[in-house]
Each structure stands twice: as C-alpha cells, then as structure tokens.
C-alpha cells in the first residue's frame, strides 16, 4: 500500500485515500450540453470526491429523446421501465451498485430540465428501493433566477425515498450562462467542492455505522 496515502479511522477499519472501501458516487448531468455549465459543476464535485478516495462516474443525458412516465405501473412488478429505448434502465443498473448520487440540471424557465425530471420520475418509480437510505444531492446552474425552485423540484424525489440530502456551505448552485463564466463563480465552485467533501464524509459515516451494528430504520407501510 502506498505510504503517501492518508488513513481515515472508522471503527475497526483503516481506510486510505485512493483505496477506500470501493464506494462510488454517480453524478447525473441532466443538461443537453455534455460539456456545459452543469458538467463543469459536477466535475468539480467529482474531482473532490476522487481526492477523498471515492470513485465517481458522470453520466450524460444529452439531447436524446426520453419518455415521460405514463403511470402504467408495470415497473412495480419488474423493477424496470417498459420504455427501454433511453437511458433509464441502464442508469438504474448503475445506480444499484452506487453508494450516493448527485443530480445536476440547468435552470429552464425557473425549473429543472424537463428531460431530467422525466428520467428521475421513471427511475424513482421503477427503482425506488435502489435509492432508499443512500445520500443524494441536487445541483443546479443558472444565468440568474429559478435556482431554489429547481433544487426543490429535484430534491422531492430524495425525500420520497428516505434519502439523506447532502448540503454545502451555500445552496448547491453555480451561476453563469457559459462554462467560462461559471469558472469565474469562485464561491459557486467552492460550494461544489464543499459538497463533495460533505458527501464523502456522509458516506464514511454510514459505512462506519454499518460496521458497528447501526442498521437503517424500517419504515411503516400501512398507509
């Protein structure tokens, strides 16, 4: 094991940056622009998580067409969406193996990307149990307004699935209509880095709890 790694102590296990527990965070880019403002914000989080010893993968939604949920409920018996042409089922397979999630979106007309919301509706309907008790964060990018309303819309999926929400030192947003302008938002990028560190800390806390016999609560389901 490389001697330069800094150990983390947790219970009876010692972890090392770069070799830490095989934990992974998926970052979903809900923008049609694969290398735009949202990607830049997610990349800042990803780099910070990697520095903290957490593996990451950024998934790109891009401009491909996606289906809306039609409420057929077929997924309740199969765990998959009936529409197999777009990213949803593939992303669910990846999500099942991940420990945490970051969903990022540009702000359009004071709300998140319609593409992303359609995908999230179907993912959380078909794969609800995949996400339960795993930490998640929402990130938005905007030229000016609509950021907090967009964060709220994304985070509603998390609270329906009993997911701890990862916060930062400001609301999880960056500003700028183009990547080169987002790069000038030093406070926003700092917020992304602090979000990454908080996500890594929460993941380690959850893992430490499991190792010491702390189990997730069982929800009441009568109603």
CB-based contacts of 116: which residues, under 8 Å, 6+ apart?
Answer: 28, 30, 61, 103, 105, 154
Domain ranges of the chain: 16-211
Q: How far is CA 58 from CA 55, 73, 91, 169, in A?
A: 11, 29, 11, 23
**pLDDT tens string 151-176:** 999 999 999 999 999 999 999 999 99
CATH 1.10.167.10 fits 16-211, yes or no: no
How many whole angstroms separate alpha carbon 188 and alpha carbon 171? 9
Q: How confident is the model at residue 21 (pLDDT cuts 50, 70, 90)?
A: low
Residue, of 60 and 9, whose pLDDT is higher: 60
Residue 107's Cβ-count burial label (10 Å; 0-12, 13-18, 19+) is buried
**pLDDT tens string 115-143:** 999 999 999 999 999 999 999 999 999 99
pLDDT above 90 (res 4): no
What is the distance in angstroms between the CA of the first residue and the CA of the last residue of the chain? 51
Q: How confident is the model at residue 22 (pLDDT cuts 50, 70, 90)?
A: confident
How many whole angstroms separate alpha carbon 50 and alpha carbon 197? 10
pLDDT above 90 (res 217): yes
pLDDT above 70 (res 78): yes
pTM of the model: 0.90
Q: Are residues 123 and 92 in contact, defined by beta-carbon separation less than 8 angstroms?
A: yes
Q: How confident is the model at residue 10 (pLDDT cuts 50, 70, 90)?
A: very low
Q: Are residues 122 and 85 in contact, defined by beta-carbon separation less than 8 angstroms?
A: no
């Amino acid at each position: 094991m490389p001697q330069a790694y800094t150990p983390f102590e947790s219970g009876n296990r010692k972890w090392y940056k770069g070799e830490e527990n095989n934990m992974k965070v998926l970052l979903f880019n809900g923008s049609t622009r694969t290398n735009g403002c949202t990607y830049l914000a997610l990349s800042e989080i990803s780099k910070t998580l990697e520095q903290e010893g957490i593996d990451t993968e950024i998934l790109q939604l891009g401009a491909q067409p996606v289906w809306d949920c039609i409420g057929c409920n077929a997924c309740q018996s199969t765990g998959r969406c009936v529409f197999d042409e777009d990213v949803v089922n593939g992303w669910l397979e990846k999500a099942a193996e991940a420990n945490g999630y970051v969903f990022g979106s540009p702000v359009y007309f004071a709300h998140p990307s319609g593409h992303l919301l359609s995908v999230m509706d179907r993912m959380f309907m078909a794969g609800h149990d995949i996400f339960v008790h795993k930490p998640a964060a929402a990130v938005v990018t905007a030229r000016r307004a609509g950021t907090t309303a967009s964060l709220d819309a994304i985070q509603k999926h998390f609270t329906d699935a009993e997911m701890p929400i990862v916060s930062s030192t400001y609301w999880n947003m960056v500003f700028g209509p183009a990547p080169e302008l987002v790069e000038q938002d030093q406070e926003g990028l700092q917020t992304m880095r602090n979000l990454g560190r908080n996500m890594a800390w929460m993941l380690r806390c959850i893992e430490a709890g499991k190792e010491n016999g702390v189990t997730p609560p069982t929800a009441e389901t009568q109603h």
